Structure 1
Amino acid sequence: MVRESASLEVSKCVYTRMGWPSRNGGLERAFIHWAQADTQVLAFCKISENRHTFARLRYVKDDGLPAFYSPDFLVRPQARCTWSKPKAKNKHPPQRATEKSKPRWHGVERINNLTEEQRGGPPWHYVLLGEAVG
């Protein structure tokens, strides 16, 4: 369920439309446009923390409290699978520190420890994208 005004019709996803946050969602919107247009991208999907619980990882924050982490997108380029997290360059330092503590690499490592058949093919990678990436 997405708003038409904050979504794009896509053909490389199991969903027919892919949405972005209507407030401050410009970077995610640009990412969806890029993934849809790039010929190297075979498939991609925006992760919903509530609907896609398979992509939710548990971890312990620096303060010892349990938390969850989900990537923003799963992307299937021709030779690998990728978790992607677009981030605006104007994020202030506390958010960057929080980002570093998330188990992004650990989650990809766990997937890559599976057999090729269990993980669905090629190795996985984590990519943190900033606005400057063109």
Structure 2
Amino acid sequence: MIALVLPHMREQGWGRIINISSIYGREHGGSIDYMAGKAGLIALSKHLALQLAPINVRVNSIAPGSIDFPGSTWERFQQNNPPEVVDEFIARNLPAGRFGWPEPIGEMVAFLSSDRADLVTGACINVDGGQSKSLF
């Protein structure tokens, strides 16, 4: 998708590219292929951000935590496990005391897409309710 939109962004001298990664692109969690793919997406975003900053194209990534929505892995987790298992997972892993939901991710996309985020490029922003453990 980036390759398709980039020529137009270069031509107009403005653009916003926002990739959705995961906190598990920055720290341990999930399968190795998932972590490697999400880490690669963060690295791609940073690399492109540095290349495209001079032409006013901003590139960032968002790293959601455990986001629950209909049909999600977390919905299945909650449906397929006893309440005490779900409660223990939440207590151990989710400092906000609940799973995340899609709207905060969308709000971050809207912000990063706007002119208000003109100095934000090459960033990977966690939207995870404090779930991630990494200091970076």
TM-score, structure 2 normalization: 0.30
Higher helix residue share: 2
